[in-house]
């Protein structure tokens, strides 16, 4: 950024002084010296070749430091290098992480291309983020910038002073918001500057956020750690930790520092972070207009994994990548200034892997209040956790049970209705992996219909057959005269879906069947069916005679 002498002369003298003071604070002073401590074996010509511009001979360094003997540099002594003499090289920014649609463009070109992780960005290029998108940049000194959704950022200056460790970074936030974690400066020429439409924020090592302003809200700078100098041509403000300043326009000095809204208090009793979807709850903050919830990497909090704003004091996060994560919740004022963060760490595990569901299949209707759930075996798992809920997000599971096998039957009856079920694996250390996809099922009150076939009579014997069940199931069949089955004429358990009776009764009989699983669980009896048996002499009338049968 340059300011011509013509423009300066047309400004009032006080405004010129303020602008010059701001520029002096924001830009490296070329008159300053960078100091180097001499190590054993150092020589002036080696140090000159390592740190000076090619146009600056090492003899100038000797004269500047008044070194009498260039062949003898006492270890531990200090050499002063004028900043203006130091070699300067380009220092591209590296894309550390992206989320959602992030694009970049070159200076003077309208075309945009997708950004990929690991990409190097250079001076003049600009970044654009879409809805629910973000990108994290790493600069040469490991300072990091997170560009949030609906934002536009231009890279104005990315350079380093040779091997000194000093870095000059300047970016222009044209739209949206950034979060910044700046490495403390290592020398007089180190700078980290963000130009926004109405003010410039200059730091030498801190954690802060900058907003370019949006409809209904003016630009702001919010400081979490360290101090930030915020100013424009009308003046400057020094903003301390826990404070913010708002900048309405270039023609107005940034506003007086104001306290950030306090961090919301997380409601530990309602938090559920041990399984997805995660559930958050917090207490309301007075004067807060809404809240922002973010999930970041615990070890690299500049990498944004999830973000959402809400007016409520609860939020459900449906899915997250595995790893050690950190949840951040902050209040936002009516002026759009974001406050201090409430933090809560969580771990999302993807191992051991979730089993594959086998039965019931998706959208199946089950005529049992206690159906058997079955899944595949996971070799690394010690046990499997079964969850059943009314909602697909499992916000309020109605049942959670654990099994060391590959199947499980609920310990209590499930009322008729719609449900979802899912399973997760637990390893030998007790760590539970992620749950698999939910499977929908319906519990029906209607008992299983055995679909009785017409009875067959031949040679004095009556045979009843019905629909076969699942492999391994047995059957309990009852016959009764009155239909109340208080004292059945026949009560027999069989392995096949049929029963044969010798010298059966005549007249009206009632039949019902119960399916028994291989684990001994017996479902409800089927509705009774009525059959009419002719006289006994009719049974031998011609093998294969069909009998009358009616449904109750």
Question: Cβ(399)–Cβ(387) under 8 Å?
Answer: yes
Q: Give pLDDT tens digits for 225-247.
A: 999 999 999 999 999 999 999 99
- The domain 5-85 having CATH identifier 3.90.920.10: the answer here is no
pLDDT of residue 19: 42
The angle at the Cα of 140, spanning 127 to 31, to the nearest 5 degrees, equals 110
Whether the per-residue pLDDT at 474 is higher than 70: the answer is yes
CA of 471: how far to CAs of 185, 250, 478, 522, in Å? 73, 79, 22, 15
**Mean pLDDT for the chain overall:** 89
What's the CATH code, domain 278-348? Answer: 2.60.40.10
Whether the per-residue pLDDT at 541 is higher than 60: the answer is no
pLDDT of residue 536: 56
Q: What's the fold here for domain 357-443?
A: Immunoglobulin-like (2.60.40)
What mean pLDDT is predicted for residues 207-221? 94
> What angle in degrees, to the nearest 10, is found between the helix axes of 58-65 and 44-51?
110
pLDDT of residue 1: 35
CATH architecture of 456-551: Sandwich (2.60)
What the block records as the tokens of 418 is 């719609």
Task: Provide CATH 3.10.350.10 ranges for the chain.
Answer: 5-85
The DSSP secondary-structure symbol of 51 reads: H
Q: In what order do the strands lie in the sheet with 219-225?
A: 120-121, 93-99, 134-138, 144-147, 177-181, 207-211, 219-225, 243-247, 258-259
Q: Give pLDDT tens digits for 63-122.
A: 999 999 888 899 999 999 999 999 999 999 999 999 999 999 998 888 999 999 999 999
Task: Provide CATH 2.60.120.1440 ranges for the chain.
Answer: 89-259
Whether the per-residue pLDDT at 41 is higher than 70: the answer is yes
Q: Is the pTM of this model over 0.85?
A: no
Among 139-148, 264-273, 528-537, which is the least confidently predicted range?
528-537
Whether the per-residue pLDDT at 9 is higher than 80: the answer is no
How would residue 12 be classed by pLDDT, with cut points 50, 70 and 90?
A: very low
Q: Give pLDDT tens digits for 246-284.
A: 999 999 999 999 999 999 999 998 898 888 889 999 999
Q: What's the fold here for domain 89-259?
A: Jelly Rolls (2.60.120)
Alpha-carbon distance 180 to 201, whole Å? 11
Whether the per-residue pLDDT at 224 is higher than 50: the answer is yes
pLDDT of residue 133: 97
Task: Provide CATH 2.60.40.10 ranges for the chain.
Answer: 278-348, 357-443, 456-551
The residue with greater pLDDT, 110 or 188, is 188
């Amino acid at each position: 950024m340059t300011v011509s002498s013509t423009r300066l002369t047309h400004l009032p003298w006080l405004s010129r002084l303020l602008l010059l003071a701001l520029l002096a604070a924001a830009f490296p002073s070329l008159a300053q010296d960078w100091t180097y401590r001499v190590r054993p074996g150092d020589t002036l010509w080696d140090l000159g070749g390592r740190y000076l511009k090619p146009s600056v001979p090492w003899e100038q360094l000797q004269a500047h430091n008044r070194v009498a003997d260039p062949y003898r540099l006492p270890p531990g002594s200090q050499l002063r290098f004028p900043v203006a003499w130091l070699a300067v090289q380009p220092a591209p920014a590296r894309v550390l992480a992206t989320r959602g649609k992030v694009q970049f463009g070159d200076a003077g070109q309208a075309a945009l291309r997708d950004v990929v992780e690991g990409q190097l960005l250079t001076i003049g290029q600009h970044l654009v983020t879409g809805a629910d998108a973000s990108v994290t940049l790493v600069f040469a000194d490991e300072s990091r910038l997170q560009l949030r959704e609906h934002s536009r950022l231009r890279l104005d200056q990315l350079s380093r002073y040779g091997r000194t460790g000093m870095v000059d970074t300047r970016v222009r936030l044209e739209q949206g918001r950034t979060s910044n974690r700046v490495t403390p400066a290592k020398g007089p020429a180190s700078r980290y500057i963000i130009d926004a439409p109405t003010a410039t924020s200059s730091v030498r090592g801190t954690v802060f956020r900058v907003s370019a302003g949006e409809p209904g809200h003016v630009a702001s700078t919010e400081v979490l750690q360290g101090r930030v100098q915020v100013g424009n041509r009308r003046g400057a403000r020094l903003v301390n930790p826990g404070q913010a300043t708002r900048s309405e326009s270039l023609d107005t000095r940034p506003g007086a520092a104001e306290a950030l809204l306090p961090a919301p208090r997380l409601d530990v009793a309602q938090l559920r972070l041990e399984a997805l979807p995660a559930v958050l709850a917090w207490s309301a903050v007075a004067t807060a207009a809404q809240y922002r919830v973010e999930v970041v990497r615990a070890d690299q909090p500049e990498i944004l994994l999830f973000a959402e704003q809400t007016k409520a004091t609860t939020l459900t996060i449906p899915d997250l990548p595995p790893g050690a994560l950190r949840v951040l919740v902050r209040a936002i004022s009516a002026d759009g200034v974001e406050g201090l963060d409430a933090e809560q760490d969580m771990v999302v595990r993807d191992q051991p892997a979730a089993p594959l569901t086998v039965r019931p299949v998706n959208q199946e209707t089950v005529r049992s209040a206690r159906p058997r759930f079955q899944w595949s075996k996971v070799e690394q798992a010690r046990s499997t956790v079964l969850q059943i809920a009314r909602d697909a997000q499992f916000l309020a599971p109605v049942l959670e049970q654990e099994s060391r096998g590959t199947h499980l039957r609920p310990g209590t009856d499930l009322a008729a209705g719609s449900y979802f079920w899912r399973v997760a694996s637990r390893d030998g250390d007790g760590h539970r992996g992620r749950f698999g996809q939910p499977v929908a099922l319906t519990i029906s009150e209607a008992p299983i219909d055995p679909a009785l076939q017409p009875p067959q009579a031949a040679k004095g014997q009556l045979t009843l057959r019905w629909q076969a069940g699942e492999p391994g199931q047995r059957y309990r069949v009852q016959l009764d005269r009155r239909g109340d089955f208080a004292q059945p004429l026949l009560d027999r358990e069989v392995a096949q879906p049929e029963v044969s009776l010798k010298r059966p009764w005549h007249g009206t009989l009632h039949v019902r069947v119960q399916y028994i699983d291989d684990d001994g669980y017996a479902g409800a009896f089927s509705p009774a069916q009525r059959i009419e048996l002719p006289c006994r002499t009719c049974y031998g009338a011609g093998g294969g005679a069909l009998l009358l049968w009616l449904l109750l």
